[in-house]
A = this chain, B = another copy of it.
């Protein structure tokens, strides 16, 4: 392959960028630092990513990709089993596991860029809409929700999930954290129940 080396390098650079951003923050991670971290001159970094803006843009694609990947196994499992259990999906949304796989600091740093960069805004929007659609698909397979506005329900569930993690990021105390996450989870269950009951 002509561009095998190129692709590998690009991947390594973005990963290095991500790692350093987790440690020191996005705004404190320079091209020179990335180069040093990977044992290459900054000019090589710029050979693959001509400007810092492009570099950041690719970092964001990487992050959004990782984010989507977190949901993948759950979505796949539900698809192969061909059995849709919304509760399982909701549980996985609130599971601690994937919180460890992902650094919210970098995610929110990049998120804050949407306010002055329309392309980043569009990419972020796309990710969130994809996640909502995935949930809608799962909800649509639940017979108890037949004929219901599952799009709206999915939206409402994610609003709770996203508001929950926004606030949870400020909580250090594990006990409080766990208590709150249970409260949020039951808030989502209530939503599900409300929709199920409605057609009686």
What's the minimum C-beta distance from A137 to chain B, rounded to whole angstroms?
Answer: 19
* 7 A-B pairs in the complex with CB atoms less than 8 angstroms apart: A104-B115, A105-B116, A111-B112, A114-B169, A156-B183, A158-B167, A190-B194
A40 CB within 8 Å of chain B: no
Q: Which of A61-69, A74-82, A92-100, A120-128 contacts B (4 or more CB under 8 A)?
A: A120-128
Q: Is the CB of B108 within 8 A of A115?
A: yes
Interface residue A73 (Cβ < 8 Å from any Cβ of B): no
CB-CB under 8 A from A133, the residues of chain B are: none
| Chain copies in complex | 2
Q: Chain A: residues with CB nearer than 8 A to chain B?
A: 24-27, 103-105, 108-109, 111-116, 121, 124-125, 128, 152, 155-156, 158-164, 166-167, 169-172, 180, 183-184, 187, 190, 194
Contact A105 B111 (CB under 8 A): no
- Please, which residues of chain B bring their CB within 8 A of the CB of A170? 114, 121, 124-125, 128
The smallest C-beta distance from A53 to any residue of chain B, in angstroms, reads: 12
Question: A112, B114: Cβ atoms under 8 Å?
Answer: no
Which residues from chain B contact A160 at a C-beta distance below 8 Å?
Answer: 159-160, 163
A60 to chain B, nearest CB (A): 13
Bound form: Cα–Cα A187–B153 in Å:
10
Q: List, in ascending order, chain B residues with CB within 8 A of A180's CB.
A: 155
CA distance A169 to B166 in the complex (A): 14
